[in-house]
Amino acid sequence: MSFAPSLTQTLPVRHGRTSRVALWALQLALAGMFLLAGSSKLLGAAEMVALFDAIGVGQWFRYVTGLIEVSSAIALLVPSLAVFGAVALLATMLGAVATHLFVVGGSPAMPAILLLGAAAVVWARRHRLLGDQQTSR
């Protein structure tokens, strides 16, 4: 009889108070940043209009990106939706990093930092994606 968990078994994840507080602080910070960034896109800030002109896809893409950022920011504040908002932001920031590197130039540092933050939320809340309700917070 083996007491070691097999590769197909998952052990319950235990999170202390400090890690839960840190995760929520990260989610709040990301939500604030994406609410501001998405709102500036939706409201047509001159810098955002110029950026999306440089991308060359059209201003409709600014609206789509703004909607993704604002809706994902709100999702980060809802425990049952946070991982899904983070996944959407992860994909959006992958696109932003690639756009900075290959299309418009400039530093991809800020999108890369936001990408890492979204990835951390996805990792910490991955149990929601896997359907494991035992460890939900």
How far is 92 from 66, CA to CA, in rounded Å? 10
Of 90, 91, 85, nearest to 70 by C-alpha is 85
What pLDDT, on a 0 to 100 scale, did the predictor assign at position 30?
Answer: 98
pLDDT in tens, 22-69: 999 999 999 999 999 999 999 999 999 999 999 999 999 999 999 999
Q: What is the mean pLDDT of residues 11-24?
A: 79
Higher pLDDT, 38 or 9: 38
pLDDT in tens, 82-132: 999 999 999 999 999 999 999 999 899 999 999 999 999 999 999 988 876
What pLDDT, on a 0 to 100 scale, did the predictor assign at position 136?
Answer: 46
pLDDT band at 15 (very low <50, low <70, confident <90, very high): low
How far is 10 from 70, CA to CA, in rounded Å? 34
DSSP 68-103: HHHHHHHHHTSTTTHHHHHHHHHHHHHHHHHHIIII
Look at residue 135 and tell me whether its pLDDT is greater than 90: no
What pLDDT, on a 0 to 100 scale, did the predictor assign at position 130?
Answer: 80
Domain range summary for the chain, segments of one domain joined by + = 19-130
pLDDT band at 16 (very low <50, low <70, confident <90, very high): confident
